[in-house]
Amino acid sequence: MSVLPLVFTSGWASGINAYAVVLLLGIFGATGVSDEVPEALQRPDVLIAAGVLFLCEAVADKIPYVDSVWDTVHTVVRPVSGAVVGALLAGQTGSLSDLAAGAVGGTTALASHAVKSGTRMAINTSPEPFSNFAMSTAEDLGVGGLISFAMFYPEAAAIIAAVLLVIGLFLLFFLVSRIRRFLRRRAQRREEKRLAERAGAPPP
């Protein structure tokens, strides 16, 4: 499938920021930059919704702990978005190739989402808030740059996305201890809040 490199790249990017992917692909299709973008992604209502949600994510994704809550909510949204975008890029005939493209997009999005959410948990163990802002900005720029690059060089973009995914998975493995620390701290805060509410005192 000639569109498979773009499907893979969009799947990786969807796991990082699904709304940015839909918005960028829709704009590229509507402006005639690419003929491979389906009309469903170019509709004005889709572009407006993706733009609004992208702005919401741009804010939430840069706030410590709020970003992890946002990632939790999007554990289903991002893989589904990657699968839908992949299937749309492959075509809308319901053929086996469309289903395969959807599976590739969804699986890749799930893997990159796991890297993103796990990395954020590790970063949230740090007391300073600047790393969240820096990481979120880097992710936004990376998604925008790679999707734009994929419009002209899809194979090269897919290779870059694959390398980034592998590096991210290895990084996630080494950050397991910090992720566990984040989960313990969040559970402790919930327990302290529950005990404070039971005692009638204001939560910490």
Amino acid at the residue 200 = G
Helix or strand or coil: residue 102?
helix
* Pick from 52, 60, 101, 110: nearest CA to 80: 110
Question: pLDDT: is 40 or 130 the higher one?
Answer: 40
79-110 pLDDT, tens digit each: 999 999 998 988 755 567 778 888 999 999 99
Mean pLDDT, residues 46-59 taken together: 95
Question: pLDDT: is 32 or 181 the higher one?
Answer: 32
Mean pLDDT, residues 54-75 taken together: 91
Q: Is the pLDDT of residue 136 over 60?
A: yes
Q: Is the pLDDT of residue 143 over 60?
A: yes
Residue with token string 């840069």: 62
At residue 96, the pLDDT reads 72
At residue 118, the pLDDT reads 87
Q: Is the pLDDT of residue 201 over 60?
A: no
Average pLDDT, the chain: 86
At residue 202, the pLDDT reads 53
- Torsion sign, CA atoms 164, 114, 128, 176: negative
CB 141 within 8 A of CB 44: no
Q: Is the pLDDT of residue 204 over 60?
A: no
Query: pLDDT class for 139, splitting at 50, 70, 90?
Result: very high
Residue with token string 């005692």: 199
| CA 136, chain centre distance (Å) | 11
Question: CA-CA distance, 151 to 26, in Å (whole number)?
Answer: 12
Mean pLDDT, residues 151-163 taken together: 94
Q: Is the pLDDT of residue 199 over 60?
A: yes
CB 71 within 8 A of CB 120: yes
